[in-house]
Amino acid sequence: MAVADETEVYVYEQVVILISCVLSFFGSILIICTYVVWTDLRTKPRKLLTYLSVADLLSAISYSYGVWRVFESNSWDCVLQGAISTFANTSSFFWTVAIAIYLYIFIVSSNQRLADSLVLWFHIISWGIPLGITVAAVCLQKIGYDASEVSVGWCWVSIQAPDHVLWMLLTGKIWEFLAYLTLPILYILIKKHIHRAHAALSEYRPILASSAVSQSRSSMADRKMTLIPVIFIALRIWSTLRFLLMLLDSPARQSPLLVTLHGIGNTFQGAANCIMFVLFTKPVRTRLAAAVCCCCCRHTAHRDSDASIQDPASSNGPLRREDVSHRVWGED
């Protein structure tokens, strides 16, 4: 059944968002593969990042199908796609916050045992709650065609459900709002703790302040602690804005620019994580470059290339500002 005020999805919007989905797909695959292949880079935060990438991978696949199809009514594949994207998207919110909580306890509280003990609960919450909400929404027939009111071609909560706003909150928006509040607070506290610890150590070990390597490493840690919540909000804010405009019944929610930004924001998370934690992480980037060079050399030379890159040993001492990138994300 057609909806009178449905938002039109233009072909160029489909192309742009499908490209975003493809980038997110390969970005998530790359994060998962680098974790599996290089065992010495398997820090606990990277393990949590891998779980997040699984959720982002499912999101990219389901969203790409929805954008390609641009549903115009309820159908079995509309409900299936809506259910998968609802589960994956909500799970992505939970895993993003879980990583921040883990880093806070690990770095600020300096309690790795407690942080590690929470991983099981992260699994139960980050997979269990989204699954329970999605199953309930499907069983109550709340998932379906939403006329692209708060989507871009894909299906989510049926716009014809009388309580669709409530279910939009339960299946994503309320968790998105909580992430907006939680992530900046946790990462600001982490950054402040790192700066205080660095200042205290520098008072007794001035060499830390003058070391170019230490400055580079701590600078990268600072940037990532800043970029994680900033990128999350920058990507997700367009979806939130369209949701609020829908509540106000504003025609601005159908703006092609806003629709395109919404589509990119919902589908680019896997690619953004790949850029930060693979391409901007020196050991991973170096190994990827070496692997590509090795593959190229095999076409021109008949010899094996078994060269490996050794990482510097992790410090067993207190967690300093310049140690964060290496001990948390496995950076040099």
Residue 154 backbone zone (phi > 0: left; psi -120 to 50: alpha; other: beta): beta
Which segments of 70-118 does DSSP mark as H helices, in order? 76-103, 112-117
Cα gap 142→233, rounded to integer Å: 27
Cα gap 37→31, rounded to integer Å: 10
Cα gap 304→316, rounded to integer Å: 36
Tell how many helices (H) and how many strands (E) occur in the chain.
13, 2
Cα gap 315→102, rounded to integer Å: 20
The answer to whether the CB of 321 falls within 8 A of the CB of 197 is yes
Which residue bears the tokens 């919007």? 13
pLDDT of residue 300: 59
In terms of Cβ atoms closer than 10 Å to its own Cβ (0-12, 13-18, 19+), residue 234 is: middle
pLDDT of residue 286: 82
pLDDT of residue 262: 96
Instruction: Identify the CA nearest to 88 among candidates 115, 120, 64, 121.
Output: 64
Output phi, psi for 157, to 5 deg: -85, 130
- Amino acid at position 74, single letter: N
Tokens of 53: 């990438």
Q: Kindly give the confidence (pLDDT) of every residue in the chain, 332 residues in length, as a single tens digit, with 9 standing for 90 and above.
A: 445 478 889 999 999 999 999 999 999 999 999 999 888 888 888 999 999 999 999 999 999 999 999 998 889 999 999 999 999 999 999 999 999 999 999 988 888 899 999 999 999 999 999 999 999 999 999 999 999 989 999 999 999 999 999 999 999 999 999 999 999 999 999 988 887 876 665 555 554 444 544 455 556 666 777 888 999 999 999 999 999 999 999 999 999 999 999 999 999 999 999 998 888 888 888 888 887 787 777 755 655 444 443 443 444 445 555 555 556 666 65
Cα gap 125→176, rounded to integer Å: 15
CA distances (Å), 206 to each of 26, 200, 212, 314, in order? 43, 10, 13, 21
Q: How far is Cα of residue 332 from the mean position of the Cα atoms in its chain? A: 23
pLDDT of residue 182: 95
CB neighbours of residue 293 within 10 Å: 12
pLDDT of residue 303: 54
DSSP string, 10-50: -HHHHHHHHHHHHHHHHHHHHHHHHHHH-GGG--HHHHHHH
